[in-house]
Amino acid sequence: MMLYSRLSGVIGIEENILWKRGLYLEHGKIEKNGIFKMALDVRGYEFANIEAHKFHRTIIPFFLAENNLTLSTLIDDDLVELKKGAQPCGKKCLAVAMIHHDLEKMENLDRTYGTATERYFHDYDEGYAWIRGINAQR
C-alpha cells in the first residue's frame, strides 16, 4: 500500500494540525499490522512563523517512528525525545520518499542521509518512481 501526503502553501500551526489529522486519518485505513510505503510531497510551502516550522518538524519523525521507520537525519537528542513519545502502532512503513522544492537541499540530504529506505528528491516523478519501485514484501 502507498500512503501519499501533500502539503503546500503558507503553513501555520492550524494548517499543520489539519495536515497531521489527515495523515493519521489515511493511515487509519491501513489494516492492522499492515505494511506501507510513503511519499511525502512538500513542494511549494513556507511557514507562517518559526513556531509552525518547529511543530511541523516533529510530525513526520514521530509518525514514521510509530510505524517502525526511524529517519537517519535525526540527531541523538531527537532520538531520545522520539523514544519517549512515539508509540508503536503495529504497522510498518517500508520506505519514505521526501519530495521538496529546494534542489540543493534535497541533493545534500540524499547524499548525506539517503538509504535503502529513505530518500530525498527535488523532482516529483523521480521520487514517486523510486518509492513505487520499493518491494512491498520486505
pLDDT averaged over every residue in the chain: 87
Residue 21: give its domain's CATH number. 3.40.50
Contact criterion met (CB below 8 Å) for 67 and 37: no
**Could you tell me if residue 33 is inside a domain?**
yes
- Could you read off the pLDDT of 8-53 as tens digits, one per residue? 999 999 999 999 999 999 999 999 899 999 999 999 889 999 999 9
Length of the chain: 138
Q: Which amino acid is present at 135?
A: N
What's the pTM? Answer: 0.85
**Could you tell me if residue 66 is inside a domain?**
yes
> Nearest to residue 85, comparing CAs of 113, 59, 117, 49?
59
On the question of pLDDT at 137 being above 60, the answer is no
Give me 94's grid cell. 517500508
**Could you tell me if residue 137 is inside a domain?**
no
What contacts 78, CB < 8 A, 6 or more positions away?
A: 61
On the question of pLDDT at 80 being above 60, the answer is no
The total number of structural domains that make up the chain = 1
**Could you tell me if residue 12 is inside a domain?**
yes
Alpha carbon distance 111, 133 (integer Å): 19
**Could you tell me if residue 138 is inside a domain?**
no
Domain that holds residue 33: 2-132
**Could you tell me if residue 119 is inside a domain?**
yes
Give me 114's grid cell. 539517503
pLDDT at 99: 96
SS3 92: strand
**Could you tell me if residue 107 is inside a domain?**
yes
